Amino acid sequence: MRSSEFSLIERYFRDTGLNQKSTILSQGDDAAVIQVPTGYQLVTSIDTLIEGVHFPESTAAADIAHKALAVNLSDLAAMAATPAWFLLSISLPDTNEKWLEEFSQSLKSLAQQYQMELIGGDTCQGLLSVTIQVNGLVRKNQYVTRSGAQLDDLIVVSGQLGNAALGLAHLQGKTKLPETLDSECINALNRPVPRLCLADFLRKYATASIDLSDGLVGDLRHIVDRSRVGAMIYRDRLPVGEWIETNSLYDYALGGGDDYELCFTLPEKHLDQLNDWNRDNQDCFLSVIGEITESGYYLTENQKIIDLESFQGYQHFGE
């Protein structure tokens, strides 16, 4: 593919998102220049999605764009940061204008929703792969990490778990969902909602936080390890849909990836604030699924205690 064709591609990504007032120099130069406002710190992360590894080949351009940005926004959400800027590096097998139009429109739409600005990037020829690097802002030291969980903290997750993994299993023919459910689960897989609405709540009350990309058990383990504590979670408290409950498919909720819900720890004294949140935010319901203990990592299931140390985490579908 000629460089000139890539200049064409780059046109699709101009004016993506909303201009940030602290952008000093945006796309079109060797690098972008940004000004971090006084009293703020920059929160920065990078994630790559590869066709055949992170999404099936049949995935629509608009879904790929949404997911590539959403999974990065989810990292900012876990840190309680406010999104600001992003960079895009995309490799494409060819210049399919319809595909590019759909991809860039979807990217723009999500970027605008969360007031992000695309300030630079790189395009080249290769297998389909999308890398996004996001930059968010937090007031000085007001971020939340994986390492602050304390003994007796409650373990909380947002939304429902396991739907994205169910959707993937359905697409792969590993399970058969009823018609009423398949589009909902495939939507959960392709269009995760970054839980940025929780940023204020996390900053005020959470002691540790992580986003659920590889599955609850694997990801909560990072909080456990980094905070040097233990955890007990209860299967009957996991927020799951009726299908998982009826068919006892809890492995999707425990080990299924791609939920992009947040999992965080909360001192018990803030349970009132959690209940207040749930009264006002039905679309981002918070569930207490367990508590932080001194040591060990366990699941209580039908009055049995299961050691989670050897629990097999989620594997992406290409693995």
Per CB under 8 A, contacts with a second copy among 102-141 are 119-122, 124-127, 129, 131, 133-136, 138, 140-141
Chain center to CA of 190: 11
Question: With binding defined as CB under 8 A, does residue 261 bind a second copy?
Answer: no
- Rounded to the nearest 10 degrees, the angle between the axes of helix 179-190 and helix 61-78 is 60
Question: With binding defined as CB under 8 A, does residue 151 bind a second copy?
Answer: no
User: Which 202-231 positions form the footprint of a second copy (CB under 8 A)?
Assistant: 209-211, 214, 218, 226
* Owner of token pair 């940030």: 20
Min separation Cβ 78 and a second copy, Å: 4
* Owner of token pair 């679309």: 283
Pick the closer one to a second copy by CB: 42 or 305: 42
Question: With binding defined as CB under 8 A, does residue 195 bind a second copy?
Answer: no
User: Which 228-247 positions form the footprint of a second copy (CB under 8 A)?
Assistant: none
Question: With binding defined as CB under 8 A, does residue 256 bind a second copy?
Answer: no
Question: With binding defined as CB under 8 A, does residue 281 bind a second copy?
Answer: no
How far is it, in rounded angstroms, from Cα 8 to Cα 227?
48
User: Which 36-65 positions form the footprint of a second copy (CB under 8 A)?
Assistant: 36, 38, 41-48, 50, 52-54
How far is it, in rounded angstroms, from Cα 111 to Cα 92?
21
C-beta of residue 185 within 8 angstroms of C-beta of residue 163: yes
What are the φ/ψ torsions at residue 118 (nearest 5 degrees)?
-80, 115
Task: Build a one-symbol-per-residue string for 12-41: x at contacts with a second copy by CB under 8 A, - elsewhere.
Answer: ------------xx--xxxxxxxxx-x--x
Pick the closer one to a second copy by CB: 103 or 243: 103
CA nearest neighbour of 137 among 253, 44, 50, 228: 44
CA nearest neighbour of 287 among 222, 239, 220: 239
Pick the closer one to a second copy by CB: 79 or 155: 79
